[in-house]
């Protein structure tokens, strides 16, 4: 229908509450009687003469229209209509008020159908009567006409208008709705003609019987009033932590700046760069390298765009903006409880309207990860296979974000929901809890893809993914193996000679005083690390002069495979960190093989001594020990024997023999005279220079020719002395006895003397560096 004078009049009538009937109502009888007036010829009085009555029946003049109730001009196509709803969401209901207008003079039964030309499939269109208060009344059953009476000009009531509403419900099936979908409909009215050939006989409704008449008797589809609906197109960007300009919390409320962790530079392990003032090893490097680092970069540097887990003692987190990923580098702990990292994520909405977005663990294609089950009561997603749990937390309260229960949103949320005004960035936290793995076994990264799905689209598919990744540490320290990995169960033994020379890392076994153990430091974790190595072995060292034993702690020195000493934590010999050594950076999945070198002190007593070694991750703080290596100190040394004869005036130590000093008034080489009957006094001294006791130790002397035996005694006298005599010309010694040999034994007799403190009639052992002295006298024949 064109906007014409007639339409303008109709709109004015609608506004005034009247449809404006087209003349006298059909069926009205018009009667007419003529009158002749004249003067009575006889009397001259006025007279009237009435004719017969003529009747005329008013015939139907039908006309009807459907218009927008608010007076908007008709729109014949879905693309030209000014009645437009934008940003609709799946399942949304769009209601448009219309009026059925009887512009004729006879009641009409108007059938209303929906014209959906140009509309996407899947929506439903229904029509309802409108109650006087504007609410929807009963549905107009499809195909059932609505009777609209003509307006009676004689009354103030508006009998010629019936108000209806067109209700379009959008589909929720993702296959039927997308951001490019356009939906719409227009009511299309028709009336079935009922007038017969002779309208005086069968007037009907004025339209010829058997015809179907369009609004205003126009050509079909030329008088339509479309409602057009376009679908909301989510525009979300789910990101690692940034510095959002307009941050909001999960409910869409502006956030105080203090609740948004600032983006800072984060240093994570890649390369050893030196020591700080307190002699602590420093490990620093880029937090993210594309591809992930397998070898240390030449120059370490911090990563802009990192953040820190907001919880106390939070984990450093590096941001890879290009990869839409955050990477956490947790250190090790000493407990077995599950570990957790809290990430800060941001979600920006540029879709043109406030959006409600649900968060969930997702697959790469944006669909919910079926490995996780969700408990709405606790807000926890649980992966039973891996033991990983996820919660989405409000940045202000720290409480789990709830599932939306907005009854006005036709798309019901299934997962925690955040509200993001257009042009704003919602800040939310992702808490990832994972089992506390064995710090020595190979460990895998924990990677979680976070999906963000707008509730204003039909599917349950993320509109933007981001990834939170945890790289846990793990390391192993032990004895070297050919394959990757260390051994901690065998007990490697290195045998050394404590009186030998110190050699390098190619030390042969037994021949010197150096023990060398090939070791392995294995990085079984997911990020680079270097390690501080230290170790000790405690040994007893015997004083070669006094025989006193001193407990000595010997440090383990650590060498690189090329024979160079690894860097010390401190170069100050007085520092407790002097004997701590730093390995190069060890990449994930690789190992470093240092050499543990131990220089055993001269005089160390024979025995097996356990080496205790420690390795500590400089970044991960993983602490490892190896206590199964053994340094075996072999017996080394000899037993020295010296014999001195009495000679007055000889100073002690001026005439040593075989490493043993002469006593005062005794000589080993000076000539001495004697007459028959004189007594010759000898001192026989035996010394143990081994690093271990020598058992069954005794001294022996043979009665010299031209003399006879006088006496023998140990000096100083022990608790018990035992003796043994081998007769002249005999090779079989006698039995040990506590009875001293009698004087007068002939030359050639062998006399043995020993200490028997434990009274077992067997010579006692002589301790390392111990001496035994016997005074032996004979008489010159």
DSSP for 68-107, written as a single string: ETT-PPPB-STTT-S-EEEEE-TT-EEEEEEEEEE-SSS-
| Percent above pLDDT 90 for the chain | 57
Is the confidence at residue 286, as pLDDT, over 50? no
DSSP string, 496-563: E-TTS----TTPPTTTSSEEEEEEEEEE-SSS-B-EEEEEEEEEEEE-TTT--EEEEEEEPEEE-TTS
362 vs 496, which has greater pLDDT? 362
Using CA atoms, how far residue 85 sits from 184, 227, 295, 416, in Å, is 9, 8, 58, 28
pTM over 0.75: no
| Residue 284: per-residue pLDDT | 38
Kindly state the average pLDDT of the residues 181-198.
94
Q: What are the tens digits of pLDDT across the range 325-370?
A: 988 888 888 788 888 999 989 999 999 999 999 999 999 999 999 9
Using CA atoms, how far residue 742 sits from 723, 746, 751, 755, 778, in Å, is 11, 11, 11, 19, 12
| Residue 294: per-residue pLDDT | 29
Residues near 482 by beta carbon (within 8 Å), at least 6 away in sequence? none
Residues near 277 by beta carbon (within 8 Å), at least 6 away in sequence? none
What's the chain's Rg over C-alpha atoms?
56
Is the confidence at residue 106, as pLDDT, over 70? yes
Q: What is the mean pLDDT of the chain?
A: 85
Chain centre distance of CA 426: 21
| Residue 488: per-residue pLDDT | 63
How far is residue 226's CA from residue 166's CA, in Å, rounded to a whole number?
A: 10
681: β partners: 777
For residue 215, give the DSSP letter.
Answer: G
Chain centre distance of CA 636: 58
Region of 735 please: left (phi>0), alpha (psi -120 to 50) or beta. Answer: beta
| Residue 267: per-residue pLDDT | 54
Out of 55-59, 122-126, 270-274, 673-677, least confident range: 270-274
| Residue 266: per-residue pLDDT | 52
Kindly state the average pLDDT of the residues 435-459.
89
Out of 48-57, 109-118, 720-729, least confident range: 48-57
How far is residue 8's CA from residue 71's CA, in Å, rounded to a whole number?
A: 10
Instruction: Determine contact, residues 127/139, Cβ cutoff 8 Å.
Output: yes
Indicate the pLDDT class of residue 20, thresholds 50, 70 and 90.
low
Instruction: Determine contact, residues 360/242, Cβ cutoff 8 Å.
Output: no
Is the confidence at residue 300, as pLDDT, over 80? no
């Amino acid at each position: 229908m064109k906007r014409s004078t007639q339409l303008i009049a109709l709109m004015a009538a609608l506004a005034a509450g009247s449809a404006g009937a087209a003349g006298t109502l059909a069926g009205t009888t018009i009667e007419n009687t003529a009158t002749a007036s004249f003067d009575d010829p006889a009397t001259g009085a006025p007279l009237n003469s009435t004719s017969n009555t003529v009747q005329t029946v008013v015939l139907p003049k039908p006309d009807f229209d459907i218009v927008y109730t608010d007076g908007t001009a008709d729109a014949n196509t879905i693309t030209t209509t000014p009645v437009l709803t934008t940003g609709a969401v799946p399942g949304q209901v769009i209601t448009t008020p219309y009026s059925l207008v009887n512009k004729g003079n006879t009641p009409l039964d108007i059938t209303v159908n929906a014209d959906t030309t140009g509309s996407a499939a899947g929506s439903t269109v229904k029509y309802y009567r409108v109650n006087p208060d504007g609410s929807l009344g009963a549905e107009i059953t499809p195909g059932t006409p609505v009777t609209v009476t003509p307006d009676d000009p004689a009354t103030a009531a508006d009998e010629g208008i019936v108000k209806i509403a067109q209700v379009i419900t959008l589909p929720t099936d993702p296959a039927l709705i997308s951001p490019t979908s356009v939906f719409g409909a227009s009511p299309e009215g028709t009336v079935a003609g009922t007038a017969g050939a002779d309208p005086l006989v069968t007037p009907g409704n004025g339209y010829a019987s058997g015809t179907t008449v369009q609004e205003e008797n126009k050509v079909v589809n030329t008088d339509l009033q479309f409602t057009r609906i376009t679908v909301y197109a989510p525009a979300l960007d789910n990101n690692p932590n940034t510095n959002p300009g307009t941050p909001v919390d999960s409910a869409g409320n502006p956030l105080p700046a203090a609740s948004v962790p600032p983006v800072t530079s984060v240093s994570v392990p890649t390369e050893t760069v030196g020591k700080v003032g307190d002699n602590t090893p420093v490990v620093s490097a880029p937090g993210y390298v594309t591809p992930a680092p397998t070898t240390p970069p030449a120059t370490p540097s911090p990563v802009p765009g990192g953040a820190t887990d907001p919880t106390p003692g939070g984990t450093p987190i590096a941001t890879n903006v290009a990869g839409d990923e955050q990477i956490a580098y947790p250190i090790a702990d000493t407990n077995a409880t599950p570990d957790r990292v809290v990430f800060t994520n941001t979600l920006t909405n540029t879709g043109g309207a406030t959006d409600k977005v649900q968060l969930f663990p997702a697959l790469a294609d944006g669909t919910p990860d079926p490995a996780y089950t969700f408990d709405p009561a606790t807000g926890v997603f649980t992966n039973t296979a891996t033991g990983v749990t996820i919660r989405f937390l409000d940045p202000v309260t720290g409480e789990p974000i709830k599932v939306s229960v907005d009854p006005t949103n036709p798309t019901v949320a299934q997962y925690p929901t955040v509200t993001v005004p257009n042009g704003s960035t919602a800040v939310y936290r992702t808490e990832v809890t994972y089992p506390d793995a064995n710090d020595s076994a190979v460990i895998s990264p924990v990677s979680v893809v976070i999906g963000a799905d707008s509730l204003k689209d039909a599917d349950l598919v993320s509109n933007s993914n981001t990834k939170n990744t945890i790289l846990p540490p793990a390391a192993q320290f032990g004895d070297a193996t050919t394959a990757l990995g260390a051994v901690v169960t065998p007990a490697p033994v290195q045998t050394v000679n404590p009186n030998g020379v110190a050699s390098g890392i190619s030390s042969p076994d037994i021949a010197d005083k150096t023990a060398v153990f090939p070791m392995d430091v294995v990085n079984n974790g997911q990020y680079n690390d270097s390690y501080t190595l230290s170790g000790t072995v405690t040994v007893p060292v015997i004083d070669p002069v006094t025989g006193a034993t001193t407990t000595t702690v010997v440090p383990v020195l650590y060498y690189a495979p090329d024979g160079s000493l690894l860097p010390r934590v401190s170069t100050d010999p007085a520092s407790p960190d002097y004997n701590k050594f730093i390995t190069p950076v060890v990449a994930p999945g690789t190992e470093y093989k240092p050499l543990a070198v131990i220089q055993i002190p001269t005089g160390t007593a024979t025995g097996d001594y356990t080496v205790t070694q420690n390795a500590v991750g400089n970044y991960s703080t993983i602490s490892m020990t190896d206590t199964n290596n053994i340094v075996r100190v072999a017996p080394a040394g000899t037993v020295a024997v010296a014999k001195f004869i009495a000679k007055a005036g000889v100073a002690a130590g001026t005439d040593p023999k075989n490493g043993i000093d002469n006593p005062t008034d005794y000589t080993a080489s000076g000539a001495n005279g004697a007459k028959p009957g004189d007594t010759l006094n000898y001192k026989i001294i035996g010394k143990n220079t081994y690093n271990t006791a020598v058992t069954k130790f005794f001294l022996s002397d043979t009665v010299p020719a031209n003399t006879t035996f006088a006496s023998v005694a140990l000096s100083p006298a022990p608790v018990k002395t035992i003796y043994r005599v081998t007769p002249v010309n005999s090779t079989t010694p006698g039995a040990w006895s506590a009875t001293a040999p009698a004087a007068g034994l002939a030359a050639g007799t062998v006399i043995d003397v020993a200490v028997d403190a434990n009274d077992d009639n067997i010579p006692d052992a002589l301790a390392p560096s111990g001496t035994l002295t016997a005074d032996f006298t004979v008489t010159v024949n």
